[in-house]
Amino acid sequence: MSFLKEQSIRDAIVVHVVFAVMAAAVVLLPVTAAVGWKLLLLVIVYNVMIPVVGYLRRHLDWLGIWFFVFLISIMQVVPDWFLSAQLDVLVFPVDGSPMVGVVPLYMAGLWSIPLFVLVYVGCRIEEKRSQVLSLAVVMLLSFVTFWLAEETMWMLPSWHAQNVATIGHVALYIIGPEVLLGASAYTLYALVRESSHWRKFFWAYITMVIYLGNVALFYFLIQRILLGT
């Protein structure tokens, strides 16, 4: 059993290194396709690669984690749409790639990439240490991961904040909800990892609602009350 877990970790590292190289090549090479199409291609590749490699290498935990975070990722279109169309604090450039309302289609699968890594790391640490430590690590990794994403994705361009207080290109109100998103995805997956798909669907929905509620709360507290804008 220990050997299988070590093999799972090695395979996960290899898969994500390969994907990182592929992503850099697709994004940076001077191809005339719009960034939205490039990101959609990468999202499709990742969300096929993880379950296929997991199945072929018999890492069944990959399949469970991927299914849960992919459901969350699809549902994350709702808070992204809310931030863009209702609060007018998030901008997605229109570049001709497929859209779901005001949100690029690739966003429906993009969230699964960081969330898979966060939940997977949390589960591996929990096996060796404790859930308290794993949750702390997941929250720290969530902070680093989402801060870097918010600070860099505008350069593609993919999205950027507007009409809110920022540090660099990072909106102050969004980091708290994103850290809590990583924490809730890991915690709720740990709760339902052995459950039916329907129960996972319900708790994936709850995860999205927690994020949406935190987004509205943090925006109200930071922008409206603290900064008075």
Domain assignment present for residue 50? The answer is: no
C-alpha 217/C-alpha 222 separation (Å) is: 8
Which among 172, 174, 173, 188 is positioned nearest to 138, based on CA atoms?
A: 188
Confidence of residue 1 (pLDDT cuts 50, 70, 90): very low
Task: Please enumerate in sequence order all residues whose Cβ is within 8 A of that of 134, keeping only pairs 6 or more positions apart, or say none.
Answer: 121, 122, 123, 125, 126, 186
Domain assignment present for residue 206? The answer is: yes
Please provide residue 95's backbone torsions phi and psi, each rounded to the nearest 5 degrees. Answer: -125, 15
Task: Report pLDDT for 161.
Answer: 94
Task: Report pLDDT for 2.
Answer: 54
Task: Report pLDDT for 128.
Answer: 86
Residue range of the domain that includes 137: 63-226
Domain assignment present for residue 153? The answer is: yes
Confidence of residue 156 (pLDDT cuts 50, 70, 90): confident
Domain assignment present for residue 212? The answer is: yes
Domain assignment present for residue 33? The answer is: no
Compute how many other C-beta atoms are within 10 angstroms of the C-beta atom of residue 56. Answer: 9
Average per-residue pLDDT in the chain?
Answer: 93
Residue scoring higher pLDDT (133 or 130): 133
Domain assignment present for residue 141? The answer is: yes
Domain assignment present for residue 7? The answer is: no
How many domains would you assign to the chain? 1
Model confidence at 74: pLDDT above 80 = yes
Lowest mean pLDDT among 27-36, 102-111, 128-137, 198-207: 27-36
Model confidence at 112: pLDDT above 60 = yes
C-alpha 134/C-alpha 126 separation (Å) is: 5
- Percent over 70 (pLDDT), the chain: 98
Task: Report pLDDT for 27.
Answer: 84
Domain assignment present for residue 38? The answer is: no
Per-residue pLDDT of 171-181, as tens digits, reads 999 999 999 99
- pTM listed for this prediction: 0.94
CA angle 134, 49, 79 (to 5 degrees): 60
| Interval 119-132 mean pLDDT | 92
